[in-house]
Amino acid sequence: MAMVENILKAIGKTPLVRLNKMVPEGAAEVWAKAEFLNPGGSVKERMALHIIEKAEREGVLKPGGTIIENSSGNTGVGIAMVAALKGYKVTITISDKMSAEKVNLLKAFGAKVVICPANVPAESPLSYYETAKRLVKETPGAFFLNQYHNPENIEAHYRWTGPEIWEETGGKFDAFVAGIGTGGTLSGIGRFIKEKNPNIKVIAVDPVGSVFYTYFKTGKLPTPHAYKVEGVGEDMLVKAMDFSVVDDIIQVNDRECFFTARRLAREEGLFAGGSSGGAVFAALKVAEELGAGKRVITLLPDSGNRYLSKVFSDEWMRDNGFLEDEPRLGRVRDILAIRKHKVITVGTKDIVHKVIDKMKRYDISQLPVVENGKLVGMIREVDLLNYMVTGRHRISEPIEVIVEKNIETISPEASISTLSEKFVAGQDTAVVVVDQGKIAGLVSKIDLIDYLAKKFKD
């Protein structure tokens, strides 16, 4: 690339890189658009720059103003990078599911970061969507990028990324495969492709737990549940997602995303994130279906350096049950198989005295708290005690104000050693086992002791 007058001029013109080792014999060619090579490390810089400059032209964003946005991290970084050059203040709301690298990167660019809980519904006032909306109302001169519902998100890729891919390939490809989060990238590129050649397949990739796959297949909105992969999928429908350009959606799970991302680095030298792994996993499936002589284009949205503490950490992968080495003492699922107890839960709106009655009835000292099918925290005897001894509360009040949200969870695939470490490191007497966003069980210290005693006796 030639000399540029500022870093914003370096956005775009990312290379298409052919995958070699990972593509099975007899499959179609697979080429990956390396969007992680943008100066801020992701595809989102294109959209951020496009929307901000349009807002400037229209007078919506004034000099010295504040840009506010809810982001999974990448859009926030793109906004902060653009704002650094243009002199705007930036506030980004982000969920606590996102990696520490993303949070630190946002701060490095000068953004103010507001961290919000991930395990609440999108419409909750605590969600990072609604928090951003509230901050916009409270901040004079604020501009809300609104990436999830802004048609300019689609327009950015229709006018920029789509034509770029077309120029690089000469229009000679048979399928385009990419993940969907806000939907803007796939919708914009897909719209451009379909106008050029309606026969080219546009295939979206959605993680298990997101709503898009089921909605596309059935027209019904499912109940979303938690998943680990970042920057892809959603728990609500968004206006920046244009299903009319989509031929099919392929569903991927966390394991497929993460292991494919690790393979990309080790086999192809492409250091991209977990959502890139999901896109490539799906692209390889499409390549096998199409066969030799065809060509598949996919897109790698962001860099792997945002996930060094997660996807590329053996310890994190092991703690979350993704690494396959069979532990000497077994796995958490082995304890659940022996116990087979029904998990007793309460809701955030349940009344204090009824929760106390439930604890007495089942002779238990802690209960998982759920809201809309999702785990939101734990209620323990000590929480109830602290609540009542003040004398300022009534037992007819709901428990939502005393729910402990900072709780330990573990995958059923995690090792017994990992479970033991959680008990040793913390004060909790029980750990909630969560599988695909749903409560699979509750394991206490005595459950672990009993399991180990029987194992050593055998």
Catalytic choice (33, 44, 194, 374) = 44
**HSE-up of 301 (CA within 13 Å, CB side)?**
33
Q: Which of 306, 307, 404 is nearest to 346 (CA)?
A: 404
Q: Is the dihedral of CA 295, 299, 304, 310 positive or negative?
A: negative
Q: Could you tell me which residues come within 8 angstroms of residue 102 by beta carbon, excluding any fewer than 6 positions away?
A: 72, 73, 74, 76, 77, 94, 230, 306
Using DSSP's 3-state secondary structure scheme, residue 331 falls into: strand
Torsional class of 211: left (φ above 0), alpha (ψ -120 to 50), beta (otherwise): alpha
Q: Which of 189, 181, 182, 191 is nearest to 146 (CA)?
A: 182
DSSP state of 38: S
Phi, psi of 14 (to 5 degrees): -75, 150
User: What does the DSSP assignment read for 169-228?
Assistant: HTT--SEEEEE-SSSHHHHHHHHHHHHH-TTSEEEEEEEBTBSHHHHHHHS--PPP---S
Side-chain-side CA neighbours of 327 within 13 Å: the count stands at: 20
Tokens of 194: 């379909």
Q: Where are the alpha helices (DSSP H) in 264-415?
A: 274-290, 314-319, 332-339, 352-362, 381-389
Catalytic status, residue 422: no
Provide φ and ψ at 48, rounded to 5°: -60, -45
**Which residue has tokens 């999928």?**
233
Which positions are catalytic? 44
